[in-house]
Amino acid sequence: MHIYRIYVIIGKSASGKDTVAKRLLEDRSLGLAPVVPYTTRPIRAGEKDGTDYFFTDDEGFSRMKSEGRVIECRTYHTVYGDWNYFTADDGQIDLAKSDSLTVGTLESYVSIRDYFGKDRVNPIYIEVDDGERLTRALDREKRQKQPRYEEMCRRFLADQKDFSEERLKEAGIDRRFPNKDINETVAEIAEVIRYGHKG
């Protein structure tokens, strides 16, 4: 009997998490259901509400929290104010029907794992050289109508702490997927998911 799982793609900023997730979701043979997270931060150029995130405000976040529908939440104290990112129990995840895929942080992975159970939640940690990540992040920020360079730098520095070797070990992250070639990375992760289908 197949046990349906939640795969959580994690990694530092600009490591290619969203691109990897998009490619995996497009592979119909994997049968993955997308889990779109929520955020109170402003929408970026090129993003779509309901696809990249569900964009809400502080009032919407507080309402869902009071209803007990917030599985995990992270608050970032940015130079533009507090931004909340969270995963909601809103019907997107149905472990009786299919495997699910979401993008998150190390902290959100641990919370989702504790909520659904260790046997149902698998981490996929993507790793990229810091110099390459910084270049990617800068290129992405330059394309914004209002580049937020200070916030980009804050996130880059925060990642060094959030994804320290000590924290990775505490979370039980024992496998890494280097993202030097996107095609190879996606193929390797897809194989891991297919193997999980045998479980």
Tell me: the pLDDT tens digits for 100-117?
999 988 999 999 999 999
Beta carbons within 8 Å of 140's beta carbon, 6+ residues apart:
14
Find out whether 14 and 134 touch, Cβ atoms under 8 Å.
yes
Q: How is 3-70 classified by DSSP, letter by letter?
A: PP-EEEEEESTTSSHHHHHHHHHH-GGG-EEE---EE-SPPPTT--BTTTBEE--HHHHHHHHHTT-E
CB-neighbour burial class of residue 92 (10 A; exposed 0-12, middle 13-18, buried 19+): middle
Q: Specify the pLDDT at position 101.
A: 97
Which band of pLDDT confidence, cut at 50, 70 and 90, is reported for residue 199? very low
Q: Specify the pLDDT at position 195.
A: 83
Each residue's pLDDT tens digit, 32-68: 999 999 999 999 888 999 988 999 999 999 999 999 9
Alpha-carbon distance 10 to 155, whole Å? 14
**C-alpha 183: how far from chain center:** 19
Beta carbons within 8 Å of 35's beta carbon, 6+ residues apart:
6, 87, 92, 93, 100, 101, 102
Determine if residue 62 is left, alpha or beta; phi over 0 gives left, psi from -120 to 50 gives alpha, anything else beta.
alpha
- Decide if pLDDT at 28 tops 90: yes
Alpha-carbon distance 5 to 7, whole Å? 6
Mean pLDDT of the chain: 92
CA angle 69–75–80, rounded 5-degree value:
130
Q: Which two tokens stand for residue 76?
A: 């970032």
Three-state SS at 98: coil
C-alpha distances in angstroms, 59 versus 55, 86, 164, 193?
12, 14, 33, 37
- Decide if pLDDT at 149 tops 70: yes
What share of the chain in percent tops pLDDT 90? 75
